[in-house]
Chain A
Amino acid sequence: MIPQNFFCAGSMYTYSSWTNYWEGTFKRDNGNIGKLTTNTYTVFGNYGITNKLDVVFSVPYVTTNASAGTLKGQGGFQDLMMSLKWLPFKAGLGGGTFSSYVILSGTTPLSNYEADFEPMSIGMHAETASLRALLNYQYGRFFIAASGQYIRRSDITIDRTSYYTTELIYSNRVDVPNANNLLFSTGYRSPKFNVEAIFEQNTTLGGFDIRKNDMPFVSNTMNSTIAGALFKYSFNKVAGLELTTGGNYVLKGRNVGQATTVFGGVLYLFDLNKR
């Protein structure tokens, strides 16, 4: 959380790539894709409405590229994300501090990008609404956190009038399955320096598997188990400036690429209170 009437502005660069992917449970590479790279450039902001309620937004610009094959890389503004982050409960417990958070988010596409061009598409083009509950326990400078998120996704409209899932469907509307996400993190947190390890599980609620040597589709089941790390550093000399970096790796997946992701960003905290 950031304090009331503070605004944190930031930008982030994310590089993600995979060579291997899963068709259902069948792991393979593909000489017609080579390495699939996704670059994401995000600007975001976080404003403290109160000390216990933040509003957050982000705007990502995404490009994709395949190192082999003929498919053309895509690029464009992806989905605007807005969320409210609320700290309803914080109390001392056993010598440490226990706190809980509720995060309500929504996303909406920022451009008319094509979702029906997997794996080159920059996104699903669905509107989403999600609710995350997060529990955090801090003991000295060590913490452990767990959270769960439910993501509801809207139908989307594609440019075709029929498509095959497990049967042929005569419609240009696609039921994009909902999903959930579980996150566990633990690490060291101080005013100046932050390091944590993150374990993540993404599960699609429904969808279907890519068949052997078929093309992927937006309503596939897309599950992944991801391990990652995150570092943050705040400067003493320039109050409010923070650098963040990290990365993660897909340990196990279903109908997703085995992506390696690294990111780095700069954040600056503004105090908007009148002095």
Chain B
Amino acid sequence: MKKHILKIHIAAVIACMVLASCNKTILQPTNLQYPVLSPANIDLNADTWKPILITSASAFSVPAPDAITSPAYTADLNEIKGYQAGLTSDQKAIISYWSAGAVLRWNEILRDLVAEHNLPPYQNPDGTYPIPSSTNPFAYPEFPFANPPYAARAYAYVSAAQYDALVAAYHFKKLYNRAAPYVNDAGVKALIPKSTLPSYPSEDAVVAGATVEIMKLLFPTDIAYIEQKAAEEMQYRIMAGANVRGELTAGQSLGVQVADVFAARARNDRAGKAVGTPAEWLSLQNNATSRGDQYWTSLEFPARPPMLPLFSKVIPFLFDTLTVVALRPGPPNLAGSPAFQKEVAEVLSYSQNPTREHQAQVDFWADGIGTYTPPGHWNAIAAAEFVKENYSEVHWARNFALLNMAEMDVAICCWDTKYFYFNERPTQANPKIKTLTGMPNFPSYTSGHSNFSGAAATVLTYLLPDRGTKFTDLANQAAMSRLYGAIHYRSDIEVGLQTGTKVGQYAVQRGKTDGSGY
């Protein structure tokens, strides 16, 4: 019996060693390793930067702050000291998280919400599909379905509203010129890098106020979550000694006022009608047949209506709707033509002979269901670069606004092209073409990934010229991944990149003349 016990003991030891050998590291998400924001330049002249929608900061109301000798200000300082006397580890974690930057963190929160809501509705029993409703957002399917055009628009409105709100905030910062709490009271510790930027109203609060207000429109089922994040951010500013409560209250109020200008635009930018009607879906077929082309049909079962066919009518930020038409490229190869057959054959060869490297590229750029979409991917790429640059908050907001207005406008142009020509996907032309990623439910020409990536790379190369061809190389990889994945023809990609580049140039022009000097 003793012998048995010894054997069992040995086996147990071996078992434990083997089981422990399976690598279970604690995941270290890259975005939680971002450093604390320490602006190299506070951009004190940002009140003179050209805003996007608002006309004059002085049109908004920000009351004069309490005098720093007032009992109200003293009470605000005491609140900071109360927190700082006994910060918990949870509170320190909140400081660590938010101190990477308000624009950065809200951009990440937005990407998270896009991924959460990027789910196509499940069919009805009769084979039709329910459509999410902004007036009844909690009913299945929840509003919104954050598909690529919806997401591109969401990123643009949030970024643009944040930028205008910060430009307006700088006006009042200079007007009231109040120093940070740690300057006015030596008893307040600065738990983040000190700044000489006037602290009334708070730039973090302006960003939070604007973001929460516009997100109410974009993600109505998540208001409680968004409000909780904003409250956490306000608490961070107080705990870190960076703002007193009065500065936050004033900032949030200004942010809401500016965001209301954007919300008013969003309610009337025609995105609400982008779904179209069954009659409109059917009439699209004529767009292809009138050219002698084969019209697109859904490859889903049951057949799903095309994704947001009237998104092409949405009002762009960087140019007018006539420019959308002017930017539309010439027609795709006609179904059955030799050029078309050659392209179908190329897609088939990529479908039938995938390499693991191509598979990896397809997966890296898939950005399909349940992801932050291609514009979100470019926001993630941009954020990872911006954190190295020690921008001020307003500089962060400007860069994201330029990037995301280009992404929204290129979505409009791309959707215009897709539905103007309404041509078939490779698998519709040849059912032998099996795909390495999900087949998007809209026409082929031109590739959305190529449009988004061409525009993003153009803007990012302008913003960060020292990166050389990095963004262009990434854009080419993103675009080609759609051919490797066997869901696009080569011409979809090449022409899509060209349109993307053109739209990106509009954002670059805006950036060069916005008074920032960057």
B518 at the interface (CB under 8 A from A): no
Which of B24-32, B163-171, B193-201, B255-263 lies at the binding interface?
A: B24-32
B287 at the interface (CB under 8 A from A): no
Given contacts A72-B436, A104-B11, contact A129 B22 (CB under 8 A): yes
User: How far is B121's CA from A114's CA once the two chains are assembled, in angstroms?
Assistant: 27
Q: Which of B348-389 contact A (CB under 8 A)?
A: 351, 354, 356, 359-361, 363-364, 366, 368-372, 380
Minimal beta-carbon separation of B139 from chain A (angstroms): 13
Which residue of A126, A127, A161, A214 contacts B364 across the interface (Cβ within 8 Å)? A161
Q: What total of A-B pairs shows CB separation below 8 Å?
A: 133
Query: Beta-carbon contacts of A189-225 to B below 8 Å, as 1s and 0s?
Result: 0000000000000000000000111110000000000
Q: Tell me, yes or no, whether B115 is within 8 Å of chain A by CB.
A: yes
The answer to whether A170 and B380 touch (CB under 8 A), given A73-B434, A106-B18, A160-B366, is yes
> When the two chains form their complex, are residues A117 and B363 in contact, meaning their CB atoms are under 8 A apart?
yes
Segment of B215-223, B269-277, B297-305 in the binding face: B297-305
Query: Among the listed stretches A63-71, A139-147, A252-260, which one makes contact with chain B, having 4 or more residues with CB under 8 Å of it?
Result: A63-71
Within 8 A of A (CB), among B316-367: 351, 354, 356, 359-361, 363-364, 366
Instruction: Please tell me if the beta carbons of B112 and A104 are within 8 angstroms of each other in the complex.
Output: no
In A117-167, the 8 Å CB interface with B consists of 117, 126-131, 150, 152-155, 158-164, 167
- Report if A272 contacts B (CB, 8 A): no
Q: Which residues of B contact A117 (CB under 8 A)?
A: 359, 363, 436
Question: Residues of B contacting A9 with CB < 8 Å?
Answer: none
A68–B301 CB distance below 8 A: yes
Chain B residues, Cβ within 8 Å of A104: 11, 14-15, 18
For residue B21, CB closer than 8 A to chain A, the reply is yes
Docked pose: A6 CA to B129 CA in angstroms? 62
The reply to whether B19 and A131 contact each other, CB–CB distance below 8 Å, is yes
Pairwise interchain contact A71-B300, C-beta atoms closer than 8 A:
no
B380 neighbours in A (Cβ, 8 Å): 161-162, 170
Judged by a CB distance under 8 angstroms, whether B64 is at the interface is no
What chain A residues lie within 8 Å of B370 (beta carbons)? 164, 211, 214-215
Question: Looking at the complex, which one of B8, B140, B354, B372 makes contact with A88 (CB distance below 8 Å)?
Answer: B8
A161–B28 CA distance with the chains assembled, in angstroms:
12
Q: Contacts A88-B4, A171-B29 known; A211 to B436 CB distance under 8 Å?
A: no
Across the interface, do A154 and B434 meet the contact criterion of CB distance under 8 Å? no
**Which of B19, B354, B360 is within 8 Å of A159, CB to CB?**
B360
| CB-based nearest A residue for B18 | A129
- Considering the chains assembled together, what is the distance between the CA atoms of A230 and B439 in angstroms? 41
Cβ of B486 and Cβ of A164 under 8 Å apart? no
**Are B8 and A162 in touch, CB under 8 angstroms?**
no
Docked Cα-Cα span, A49 to B146, in Å, equals 59
CB of A271 closer than 8 Å to a CB of B: no
Residue A89 is within 8 A (CB to CB) of chain B in the complex: yes
Q: Which residues of B contact A170 (CB under 8 A)?
A: 29-32, 380
Q: Does B116 contact A (CB under 8 A)?
A: yes
Q: Are A213 and B121 in contact (CB under 8 A)?
A: yes
B119 x A212 contact (CB < 8 A): yes
B7 within 8 A of A: yes
Query: Mask for B117-154, Cβ within 8 A of A = 1, else 0?
Result: 00111100000000000000000100000000000000
A153 to B25, CA, bound (A): 11
Q: Known: A161-B364, A167-B112. Is A72-B486 also a contact (CB below 8 A)? A: yes
B88-119 vs A, CB cutoff 8 Å, 1 = contact: the mask equals: 00000000000000000000100110011001
| Pairwise interchain contact B11-A88, C-beta atoms closer than 8 A | yes
Within 8 A of A (CB), among B269-316: 299-302
Closest to A66 in B: B434
| Chain B residues, CB < 8 A from A69 | 299, 301, 439
The residues of A that contact B302 with a CB separation of less than 8 Å are: 31
Chain B residues with CB below 8 A from A150, complex form:
19
Q: Which of A86, A153, A162 gathers most chain B CB within 10 Å?
A: A162
State whether the Cβ of A169 lies closer than 8 Å to any Cβ in chain B. yes
CB distance from B369 to the nearest CB of A (A): 5
In angstroms, Cα B29 to Cα A175, docked, is 12
Q: A70-B427, A161-B380, A168-B115 are in contact. List 7 more A-B contacts (CB 8 A).
A: A69-B299, A70-B439, A72-B434, A150-B19, A159-B359, A167-B112, A212-B140
The 9 closest A-B pairs by CB, nearest first: A31-B301, A72-B434, A159-B363, A159-B360, A168-B112, A164-B115, A213-B122, A170-B29, A170-B31
Query: What residues make up the interface of B, taking CB atoms closer than 8 Å to A?
Result: 4, 7-8, 11, 14-15, 18-19, 21-25, 27-32, 108, 111-112, 115-116, 119-122, 140, 299-302, 351, 354, 356, 359-361, 363-364, 366, 368-372, 380, 427, 433-436, 438-439, 486-487
6 cross-chain CB contacts under 8 A: A72-B486, A117-B436, A127-B23, A131-B15, A152-B19, A213-B120
